[in-house]
Amino acid sequence: MDELLALSTRQPWASLIVLGLKDIEIRTWITKHRGRLLIHAGTTISIRPMKFWFPKRNVPTGAIIGSVKLIDVVRFTRKTWKEWGDRHLDIGRLPLENTYAWILEDPRPFLEPIPYRGLLKLFRVSSLAVHRALTASLNPTLTRWVF
């Protein structure tokens, strides 16, 4: 069984990513990784304002909830923030001088969240349950979960 890479992010951002509503994630660091990336919903729920209302009460936490493809990492500037800020869904200002936009596509939510402990940066996941959930999520004939 191959190890997969995962990224932990706070809720509700993690759910917005795997549901395809948020296709840019901001980080202060870059990665050379491109391709499938698991999304881990951390145990913390963000209180940052967002572009629209999203239910925060029943979102899964402390679990891997789906995956996306990381297709590029681009340095965020004031210009790119103006152009792409809406895709991040945050209504605040450009967060930091050294920020990077992780460009995401092909979101695949899992049918059920898989409890898993997250880590900082990208972390390796070697779990049969996660592999099975990922395989099922990549099968287009299966039903998707919704809130």
pLDDT of residue 140: 65
pLDDT of residue 17: 94
- Give mean pLDDT, residues 66-92: 80
pLDDT tens digits, residue range 4-39? 999 999 888 899 999 998 999 989 999 999 999 999
pLDDT tens digits, residue range 85-117? 667 666 666 556 788 989 999 999 998 999 998
Sequence spans of domains, the chain: 4-22+32-72+106-137
| 48-55 long-range Cβ contacts below 8 angstroms, 24+ apart | 48/90, 48/92, 49/90, 49/91, 49/92, 50/12, 50/89, 50/90, 50/91, 51/86, 51/89, 51/90, 51/91, 52/89, 54/12, 54/15, 54/16, 55/12, 55/147
pLDDT tens digits, residue range 45-64? 776 655 555 666 788 999 99
Q: Are 129 and 114 in contact (CB under 8 A)?
A: yes
Whether the model pTM is above 0.85: no
